[in-house]
Amino acid sequence: MMAETVTIAGHGGDRIAAYFARPLGPGPYPAVVVVHHMPGWDEATKGITLRFASRGYAAICPHLHYREGGGSSPDDAAAAVRARGGVPDERFLGDAAGAIDYLRSLPYCSGKVGAIGYCSGGRQVFLAACSLPLDAAVDCYGGFVAESPPEGMPLRMAPVIDRAADLRCPLLGLFGAEDSHPAPAETRRTAEILEQHRKAFEFHTFPGAGHGFFATDRPSYRVEAANQGWQRVFDWFGRHLASA
């Protein structure tokens, strides 16, 4: 496999950086867009991108904070985004669409493309799954999908559950029972609405895990939940991104 930083066309045709990893064979390979968490385009998320490549996927992680700090460290770029109230949803969707187009243009890509996101990226993946041509999606503990944000929060974090009727692909949700954003009550509410719309989805809530249980570089890491979660992820993508 190999990995490199590439440039892709994002929202509005903006050129943004993306971390890209793939197996070295001729393919065809399914592909995955990895949506980084709020702390930014960091080493941990690049490691997740590598993990997908090692399992036979072409994987790309667009730098969603590139415009604010493409030449800076990920934490400085994330802080600049935070100071401006976060990434606007429409800009994220444009960047994600650019990443999907990039993957589908590759001669060794099977054409099947999924997306996975963590933390704020989980909410963004839900949004992408309702708006973009994806074949499967995974939301890892994305908050404010169904829950209205507390008073005073930026409008950019508005809930996205009102788009549930437009969900275009099977959705896997992986959550922690001890998480407060999203709390189990919120994920149950999301599940109820998806059921009302007869959407294909599976939600799993892991006991003893809170927010960020996949993050191996943080104290929130929970090895049992993370290992089971990874099995769920690869099973999900294995089923829904397999070539016909």
Q: Which of residues 147-176 bind another protein (CB under 8 A)?
A: 149-150, 152-154, 156-157
Angle between helices 89-105 and 120-129 (to 10 degrees): 70
Using CB under 8 A, which of 10, 23, 30, 39 touches another protein?
39
Angle (CA) 104-125-202 rounded to 5° is 105
Q: Which of residues 3-22 bind another protein (CB under 8 A)?
A: none
Separation CA 55–CA 149 (nearest Å):
37
Q: How far is the CB of 83 from another protein (least distance, A)?
A: 5
Pairing of strands 2-9, 15-22: antiparallel
Q: Which of residues 50-79 bind another protein (CB under 8 A)?
A: 68-69, 72-73, 75-79
Separation CA 42–CA 138 (nearest Å):
19
The answer to whether 80 contacts another protein (rule: CB under 8 A) is yes
Strand runs labelled E in the chain: 2-9, 15-22, 29-35, 58-62, 109-118, 136-140, 171-176, 201-206
Q: Name the one range near another protein by CB under 8 A: 14-22, 101-109, 200-208, 215-223.
A: 215-223
Structure tokens belonging to residue 68: 């604010």
Nearest to 42 by CA among 204, 212, 173, 157: 212
Q: Name the one range near another protein by CB under 8 A: 4-12, 89-97, 103-111, 214-222.
A: 214-222
Q: How far is the CB of 166 from another protein (least distance, A)?
A: 23
The answer to whether 86 contacts another protein (rule: CB under 8 A) is yes
On the 0-12 / 13-18 / 19+ scale of CB atoms within 10 A, 78 is: buried
Q: Name the one range near another protein by CB under 8 A: 7-15, 31-39, 90-98, 192-200.
A: 31-39
Catalog residues that contact another protein under the rule CB under 8 A: 37-40, 42, 68-69, 72-73, 75-83, 85-86, 119-120, 123, 142-144, 149-150, 152-154, 156-157, 180-181, 210-212, 218-220
